Amino acid sequence: MNFEQLIQKRYSCRNYSPDPIEDEIFSKVLEAARLAPTAANRQPFQIIIIKTKNNEDQLMGIYHRDWFVQPPIVLCVCSEPDQGWMRKKYDNQSYAAVDAAIVVDHITLQAADLGLGTCWIGDFNPQAARDFLNLPDDVEPIAFTPLGYPLDEPEPKTRKALEDLIRHDTW
């Protein structure tokens, strides 16, 4: 599969098999996350690996969908804003959330390449996530994704036309 095909193949999976993920396959997903670029290479993120088994109720309290707890693993990517790069010279803009988002993207693309399904979850209850995952105050949960073998098929991609997304030279 080339990159163009991979971009087409990745989709938001909302039906998962409970089948386990082989260690070797799972390691590749984590390695793709590790290699993600981050601002000034600060790597201000942590990935929490959550086994769904016996954690279904708590996970459903974080994001209430049956399919969220179908696969064997749910990942939570957290940022550590205090560890990340900030654009201090100008406006103190923090890039920690951007860094974490790139990590999630590496995870979703590598997973798709290996035949695994993922789904970005942003609509989670942050306080429920903090409580269950015991997150310190200076750690921010950015996204969850279930991780497992898909049982559904991708829908055709609906996207804006390129001309609605591109401007030339100025806004």
Ligand X SMILES: Cc1cc2nc3c(=O)[nH]c(=O)nc-3n(C[C@H](O)[C@H](O)[C@H](O)COP(=O)(O)O)c2cc1C
Q: Which residue has the tokens 């055709």?
A: 156
Residues counted in the chain? 171
Question: Which of 123, 163 has the CB closer to ligand X?
Answer: 123
**Which two structure tokens, joined as six digits, stand for 129?**
């996530």
CB of 18 to ligand X, least distance (A): 19
Question: Which of 26, 124 has the CB closer to ligand X?
Answer: 124
CA separation for the pair 166, 127 (Å, rounded): 37
CB of 30 to ligand X, least distance (A): 20
CB of 62 to ligand X, least distance (A): 11
DSSP tag of 164: G
CA separation for the pair 158, 86 (Å, rounded): 34
Give residues in contact with ligand X (CB under 6 A). Answer: 11-12, 119-123, 157
Residue 87 bridge partners (DSSP): 93
| 3-state per-residue secondary structure call for 9-63 | HCCECCCECCCCCCHHHHHHHHHHHHCCCCHHHCCCEEEEEEECCCCHHHHHHHC
CA separation for the pair 36, 43 (Å, rounded): 8
Question: Which of 22, 66 has the CB closer to ligand X?
Answer: 66
CB of 122 to ligand X, least distance (A): 3
Question: Which of 39, 77 has the CB closer to ligand X?
Answer: 77
CB of 24 to ligand X, least distance (A): 26
